[in-house]
Amino acid sequence: MDRFDSLDDKLPDFLLTNLLGVDRMRYTTPTPIQRHCVPLALAGHDVLASAQTGSGKTVGFLLPLIAAVAKNRSTAGKETNNNNNNNNIPPIIKGKTPSSPAALILAPTRELALQIELEIEKLTFGAPLPPISSENVATRWSACCYGGATARPQLEALASGVEILVATPGRLADFLDRNLVSLSRCQFLVLDEADRMLDMGFEPQLKKIVEQNDMPSRMDRQTLLFSATFPEPLRRIAQKSYLRPASARVEAGKVGASNKSVEQRLIRVEGEGTKRDKLHLLLSLLQRSEKGSTIVFTNKKHVAQWIAKELGKKSIKCSQIHGDRSQGQRESALSQFRDGKVDVLIATDAVSRGIDIPDVAHVIQFDLPFGVKEFESYTHRIGRTGRAGKTGIATSFYVPGYQPKIGNAELWSLIKNSFDESGMDLPGWFHQEKSGGQQQQRRSINRGQSTANQDQQVNGGGRRVVRPPVARPPRRTRINENASGLKNKRR
């Protein structure tokens, strides 16, 4: 598939109009992941897909999903002997549960879940309504269920019946336990950012949703697993519990690699690497940058709050999103940023994955990830710009040295690899940092060894010597007589 218009005989008219229309989403050429995954999914295959962040995975799974649901809606109320896995969806049984969706999409965070539902709304705009007399078709195309918000509005949206349910695992597991949702009609399952769901500890909820409720078995449904990375443990679980044996695997580009359409830049933080030192750099960048939206990433919530306060003093309009913000505040911050009411969004990693905000010109990493184990966040953060074939800039503040929670020398080789993979040039000072950092690390090690050697000399060659307490002789008192009377002296 080289162009989306080649799918005119496989996608419903409303879907093609929304996808290709110059006044709609204006897609023309599929990205690599879409080029391979859309035809495979339309043909009914299970797909395990991984690609770089910003590669268009969401549209890649929504097109075949919506096409399958639309085909079922168009034949609602008619008896059919077609046993096709995707299109022979059982009728809705009203009165038993508020909702029995035909398709389920699971996402790790509420922001990503809301983003997916927004894309569904764009792609289903102007879709024909179901027949009024039909009891087999839901009245809504989609609904979104997530934690951290009042459940009542979500249940009201579900009550009329939905075709596509987008949910976070925790909230959906709760609704299933309370018998508020049935998955018996679910013929289409999508897991987006599946690796992160496991990292966040959602495996028990996923098992409950997929294996311990009324969802059809993997042989009786179609499953798509999408993510930026797919480590070996996740692949084993996917093959064992989610995907049919004859599934397709798609990798577009190097998994977990940085997007080449993003120009990466690195700035050395002078001084002690404090947040105040970084703030001067941030203000300089924001004041010199061209008009455009900017996301500033930091590792800590209180630092995000502090940055917002300091930018406000400089009359820089910004919003913030992190774990201490309520769901309403999060949604308001994203809405203001998307609508251009603020130019700067300050965030922790809550929005580093999966959130598609159009036309982000610049990503600034105020803090680099804490350590080697968290470095994957680097790729996901810079992936908020340069999306869907567009270009962008990603600037990172680098603090030399190995000082815990401040210095970034531990990340030196990983940063170099990211620049090398993307064909980006590193500043000259960065190459010098390697030898300087190694010398600093050796001095630190030598100081530690010197202390250890001193301990060895004292304690007998490094072996801990346990000596019994020394017995002290009993105190003796000498009594002297003198002119002033008796005096006791201790010896």
Q: Is the pLDDT of residue 449 over 80?
A: no
Range from 10-24, 103-117, 241-255 carrying the lowest mean pLDDT: 241-255
Please write the tens of the pLDDT for every residue from 373-415: 888 889 888 888 887 677 899 999 999 999 988 999 999 999 9
Listing DSSP states for 6-58 in one string gives GGTTTS-HHHHHHHH-TTTT---S--HHHHHHHHHHHTT--EEEEE-TTS-HH
User: Is the CB of residue 228 less than 8 Å from the CB of residue 259?
Assistant: no
How many helices and strands, by DSSP H and E, does the chain display? 15, 15
pLDDT at residue number 169: 95
Q: Helix (H, G, I), strand (E, B), or coil: what is residue 227?
A: strand
Q: What would the mean pLDDT of 23-32 be, rounded to a whole number?
A: 90
The residues facing 265 across adjacent strands are 395
**What is the reported pTM?**
0.71
Half-sphere exposure of 304 (CA within 13 A, CB side): 24
Q: What would the mean pLDDT of 297-325 be, rounded to a whole number?
A: 94
Q: Band of the pLDDT at 485, cuts 50, 70, 90?
A: very low
Q: Helix (H, G, I), strand (E, B), or coil: what is residue 24?
A: coil
Closest CA to 381 of 420, 350, 416, 341: 350
pLDDT at residue number 148: 84
pLDDT at residue number 195: 83
CA distances from residue 154 to 52, 183, 349 in whole angstroms, order as listed: 32, 17, 25
Structure tokens given for 48:
């395990």
Q: Are strands 162-167 and 360-365 parallel, antiparallel or unpaired?
A: unpaired
pLDDT at residue number 281: 96
Residues 351, 193: Cα–Cα separation, whole Å? 13
Please write the tens of the pLDDT for every residue from 140-174: 899 999 998 899 999 999 988 899 999 999 999 99
Q: Is the pLDDT of residue 71 over 60?
A: yes
Structure tokens given for 191:
């897991």
Residues 114, 351: Cα–Cα separation, whole Å? 12
The radius of gyration computed from the CA coordinates of the chain, to the nearest angstrom, equals 30
User: Is the CB of residue 394 less than 8 Å from the CB of residue 262?
Assistant: yes
Domain 262-431 fold is: Rossmann fold (3.40.50)
Q: Helix (H, G, I), strand (E, B), or coil: what is residue 422?
A: helix
Q: Is the pLDDT of residue 209 over 80?
A: yes
Structure tokens given for 457:
């000399």
Closest CA to 359 of 268, 458, 290: 290
Q: Is the pLDDT of residue 450 over 80?
A: no
Pick the CATH number of 4-74+96-251 from 3.40.50.300, 3.40.50.880, 3.10.310.10, 3.40.50.720: 3.40.50.300
User: Is the CB of residue 412 less than 8 Å from the CB of residue 434?
Assistant: yes
Residues in CB range of 109: below 8 A, 6 or more apart: 146, 168, 193, 196, 350, 353, 354
Residues 114, 118: Cα–Cα separation, whole Å? 6
Q: Band of the pLDDT at 72, cuts 50, 70, 90?
A: confident
Q: Is the pLDDT of residue 18 over 70?
A: yes
Which is more confidently placed, 263 or 386?
A: 263
Q: CATH 3.40.50.300 residue ranges in the chain?
A: 4-74+96-251, 262-431
